[in-house]
């Protein structure tokens, strides 16, 4: 066998797979990612958005190899021992191994986050046997994937400037055909370095890469505003969430089955016995329409989070609002997506004089306004929406007052 294999990629051209990575790629859990779309229902809006988690995994692996080589060249020597280097590259390749079908929609429906499911995929079956043969323990990969590792280069896998973001933003923009996700990836990679912190060496960014970091921040903002949180994408997502919640309540879905499903297989399974009609509506792109669309900038800065993180309560509220609007339960959907860490910039910056500044730390605001700008971008990207399957009028004030009401008070006034 040659020392590596080459995969052609539309974004990064040639991706070189080391023999260890090639062995992992050939396992069924990784091959499943070929049939899980990266952007869920976004293809209903952007027809080119049919790329998969598999392509993204290869791209993240490729960027991890590049970043590691760049860092070691700058350091003029190895930063990690061979076993740690292998773990880092395989963690990049496997960072989405626990992902559900249809992107993050099932997490919004109340299922465990995909990082939590990674342990199950890594710990059993052919992938586990492959890792054992390579001398890599799943317990060594999980902290890197879940962002709890103390490795000095853990930020490459889970951090403010990780290879996941660099690939998915670039790839999603390319495949959607939009000019929004433009990132100066080369400049970011060449600006990475290792800095000394109180806890030991950590991944950092040289001051010369701050402009490239700004490109990452604004690319993320534009992609969320124009692609990920596009109104039609969110309409399909909330319809899908309701469909899944109904199937879960009826006992027609099991977590084990969902965790190993693919997009097309899963939607076909949901269509077989669907009293809501939502599965067929999604298949035929008959999406719920907006009855309300309000920017978050018109709301207080820190509204309660229950709309985004409590699907059971949200469903009860939706049915109450539907009855008030003359609709049947399941014909109205409330949507106010949240991602609190979306624009987090917690990365050390090495200044030209050699001193180290953390963007999220005290004093950073006087030096750089990125952290402040990030908060404003997050509010601007978010929108409060109500979608309906049939024409109906909703009272904006009622919806806003409800969304601003604390979770406990809402739960006490909405019938279970």
Asked whether residue 357 is domain-assigned, the answer is no
pLDDT in single tens digits along all 416 residues of the chain? 457 799 999 999 999 999 999 999 999 999 999 999 999 999 999 999 999 999 999 999 999 999 999 999 888 778 889 999 999 999 999 999 988 899 888 888 888 777 777 888 898 889 999 999 999 999 999 999 998 998 999 999 998 899 999 999 999 999 999 998 789 999 999 999 998 877 778 899 999 998 999 889 899 999 999 999 999 999 999 999 999 999 988 888 887 778 889 999 999 989 988 999 999 999 999 999 999 999 999 999 889 999 999 999 999 999 999 999 999 999 999 999 998 877 777 788 898 888 888 776 555 554 556 667 777 888 899 999 999 999 999 999 999 999 999 999 999 988 77
- How long is the chain? 416
Contacts of 198 (CB under 8 A, 6+ apart): none
Asked whether residue 33 is domain-assigned, the answer is yes
The answer to whether 161 and 216 are in contact (CB under 8 A) is yes
Closest CA to 74 of 169, 168, 208, 165: 208
At residue 131, the pLDDT reads 96
Asked whether residue 140 is domain-assigned, the answer is yes
What total of structural domains would you count in the chain?
1
What is the longest distance spanned by two Cα atoms in the chain?
69
Q: What is the 3-state secondary structure (H, E, C) of 74-131?
A: HHCCCCCCHHHHHHHHHHHHCCCCCCCCCCCHHHHCCCCCHHHHHHHHHCCHHHHHHH
Q: What's the token pair of residue 108?
A: 């919004």
At residue 341, the pLDDT reads 79
Question: Can you say whether residue 200 is alpha, beta or left, with left for phi > 0 and alpha for psi between -120 and 50 degrees?
Answer: left
Asked whether residue 406 is domain-assigned, the answer is no
Asked whether residue 54 is domain-assigned, the answer is yes
Asked whether residue 282 is domain-assigned, the answer is no
Residue 204, SS3?
strand
At residue 366, the pLDDT reads 47
Contacts of 260 (CB under 8 A, 6+ apart): 32
Could you list the residue range(s) of the whole structural domain that residue 167 is in? Answer: 5-230
At residue 113, the pLDDT reads 77
Q: Which contiguous run of DSSP H or E holds residue 351?
A: none
Q: What's the token pair of residue 91?
A: 């963690």
**Cα-based distances in Å from 400 to 145, 376, 383:** 37, 20, 12
CATH number of the domain enclosing 180? 1.10.3210.10
Alpha-carbon distance of 218 to 221, in angstroms, equals: 5
Q: What's the token pair of residue 260?
A: 């190993």
At residue 236, the pLDDT reads 97
At residue 173, the pLDDT reads 96
Asked whether residue 365 is domain-assigned, the answer is no
Alpha-carbon distance of 274 to 256, in angstroms, equals: 20
Alpha-carbon distance of 185 to 213, in angstroms, equals: 9
Asked whether residue 207 is domain-assigned, the answer is yes
pTM metric for this prediction: 0.93
Backbone angles phi, psi at 119, to 5 degrees: -60, -40
Alpha-carbon distance of 316 to 337, in angstroms, equals: 17
At residue 361, the pLDDT reads 55
Rg, the chain, Cα only: 22
């Amino acid at each position: 066998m040659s020392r590596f294999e080459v995969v052609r990629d539309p974004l990064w051209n040639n991706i070189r797979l080391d023999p260890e990575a090639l062995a992992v790629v050939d396992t069924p859990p990784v091959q499943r990612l070929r049939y899980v779309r990266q952007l869920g229902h976004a293809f209903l809006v952007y027809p080119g958005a049919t790329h998969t988690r598999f392509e993204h995994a290869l791209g993240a692996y490729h960027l991890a190899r590049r970043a590691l080589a760049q860092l070691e060249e700058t350091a003029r020597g190895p930063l990690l021992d061979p076993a740690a280097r292998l773990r880092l590259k395989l963690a990049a390749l496997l960072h989405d191994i626990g992902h559900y079908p249809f992107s993050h929609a099932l997490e919004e429906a109340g299922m465990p986050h995909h990082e939590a499911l990674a342990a199950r995929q890594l710990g059993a079956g052919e992938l586990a046997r492959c890792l054992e043969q390579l001398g890599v323990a799943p317990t060594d990969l999980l902290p890197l994937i879940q962002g709890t590792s103390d490795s000095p280069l853990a930020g490459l896998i889970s951090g403010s400037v990780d290879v996941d973001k660099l690939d998915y933003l670039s790839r999603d923009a390319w495949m959607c055909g939009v000019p929004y996700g433009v990132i100066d990836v080369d400049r970011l990679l060449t600006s990475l370095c290792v800095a000394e912190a109180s806890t030991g060496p950590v991944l950092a960014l040289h001051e010369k890469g701050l402009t490239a970091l700004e490109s990452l921040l604004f690319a993320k903002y534009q992609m969320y505003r124009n692609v990920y949180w596009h109104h039609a994408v969110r309409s399909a997502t909330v319809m899908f969430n309701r469909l899944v919640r109904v199937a879960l309540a009826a006992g027609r879905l099991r977590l084990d089955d969902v965790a190993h499903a693919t997009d097309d297989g899963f939607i076909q399974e949901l269509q077989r016995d669907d009293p809501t009609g939502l599965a067929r509506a999604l298949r035929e792109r008959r999406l719920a329409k907006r009855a309300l669309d309000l920017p978050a900038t018109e709301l207080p800065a820190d509204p309660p989070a229950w709309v985004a993180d409590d699907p059971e309560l949200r469903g009860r509220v939706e049915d109450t609002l539907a009855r008030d609007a003359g609709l049947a339960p399941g014909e109205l959907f409330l949507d106010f997506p949240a991602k609190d860490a979306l624009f987090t910039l917690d990365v050390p910056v090495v200044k030209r004089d050699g001193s180290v500044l953390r963007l999220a730390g005290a004093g950073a605001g006087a030096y750089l306004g990125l952290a402040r700008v990030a908060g404003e971008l997050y509010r601007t990207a978010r929108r409060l929406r109500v979608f309906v399957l049939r024409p109906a009028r909703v009272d904006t004030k009622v919806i806003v007052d409800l969304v601003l009401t604390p979770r406990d008070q809402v739960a006490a006034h909405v019938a279970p």
